[in-house]
Amino acid sequence: MSMPAKFRKKSRSAWSDPNRQGAEVECFLEGPSFDREGNLWFVDIPFGRIFRINLKGDWELVTQYDGWPNGLKFHKDGRAFITCYKQGLMVLDTRTGNLENVLGSMYSESFKGLNDLHFASNGDLYFTDQGQTGIADPTGRVFRLRANGQLDRLAINVPSPNGITLNTQEKHCFVAVTRSQQVWRLPLMTDGNVSKTGVAIQLSGGAAGPDGIEMDSQNGLLVCHLGVGVWRFDNNMLPTHLVHSDNPDHHHLANICFGGEDMRSLYITESLSGDILVARMPVAGKPMYGRS
């Protein structure tokens, strides 16, 4: 699947100037997620757009707003939660297209720039606050917004927190740490606090570090490694598979989600080209909160 020409912009934006070194971009697709009806949703960061592909394969621009949407996940009630780099945590009513801000700051302090998100089975929402952090400024943060509205800081010293997910038992939170080429493991205690955070995976090479991550039903961790492909690591965080494309334009496999009737189809956004690739995996993805 590839973005139709009518939706391609080919221009600079206030997002692409610092994040793509001033280059013109046609789009930058991330945040793939399926709704209950089987429609595939995703975001276009630099131009503040949210798209949907229906079961017939038709692309639809659902809404466009003054923001930089980075991640999208569905709540059980059908609403789409969006981590917006510019505005914070947003919620989209998928029936009306109405978009509203639900969390723009913490204790009056603005976020650095939200990136990705993941729902636990109890409705708690985990999300990353990446901004422009990195090894020289390791101040990225990981948050949890509990279903009761309580906001917790789980980590405050992360050099570029990006993708985020939980294992199947929901006892470990995994975070892609882009600039240090790592995936961190945050053990979740019975009271919800975090203890003994450590490095689960150390990567090297590629155009950058890890981006989007997802867990499969056997606690295999799927990791988008920019410039390399999509790794699958087993429960011991040892590599078992690498998904890659021979197309030279497909060097930015950034975000993933599982779909298909058996949940073994891995949908991958190639952010810069506007292509969405599909790979068949040996293990189904873990059940998602929004489709349960």
28 or 182, greater pLDDT: 182
Q: What is the residue-wise DSSP string for 170-192?
A: S-EEEEEETTTTEEEEEEBPTTS
192 or 184, greater pLDDT: 184
Distance between CA atoms of residues 14 and 265, nearest Å? 34
> Is residue 15 scored above 90 in pLDDT?
no
Reading the block at residue 105, the tokens are 């700051």
Read off the pLDDT of residues 231-271 as tens digits, 9 standing for 90 and up: 999 999 999 999 999 998 898 899 999 999 999 999 999 98
Residue 175's pLDDT is 99
Q: How confident is the model at residue 55 (pLDDT cuts 50, 70, 90)?
A: very high
Read off the pLDDT of residues 185-203 as tens digits, 9 standing for 90 and up: 999 999 989 999 999 999 9
Region 17-29 average pLDDT:
82
Beta-carbon-side half-sphere exposure of residue 248 (alpha carbons within 13 Å): 0
Which stretch of 15-24, 87-96, 103-112 has the lowest confidence by average pLDDT? 15-24
Owner of token pair 């919800």: 192
Reading the block at residue 9, the tokens are 């912009």
Reading the block at residue 18, the tokens are 């610092």
Which of 279, 231, 266, 229 minimizes the C-alpha distance to 250?
229
> Is residue 291 scored above 80 in pLDDT?
no
Reading the block at residue 91, the tokens are 């919620």
Residue 19's pLDDT is 79
The domains found in the chain, sorted by start residue, are 5-213 (2.120.10.30)
C-alpha 128, offset from chain centre: 9
Indicate the average pLDDT of the chain: 94
Edge-first strand order for the sheet with 69-74 is 69-74, 80-84, 88-92, 99-103
Estimate the share of the chain in helix, then strand, then coil, as percent rounded to the nearest 5: 5, 50, 45
Are residues 26 and 2 in contact, defined by beta-carbon separation less than 8 angstroms? Answer: no
Distance between CA atoms of residues 221 and 213, nearest Å? 7
> Is residue 292 scored above 70 in pLDDT?
no
C-beta atoms surrounding 164 within 10 Å: 27
3-state SS track over 210-273: EEEEEEECCCCEEEEECCCEEEEECCCCCEEEEECCCCCCCCCEEEEEEECCCCCEEEEEECCC
C-alpha 95, offset from chain centre: 23
Region 145-173 average pLDDT:
97
Reading the block at residue 289, the tokens are 């909160």
Residue 289's pLDDT is 82
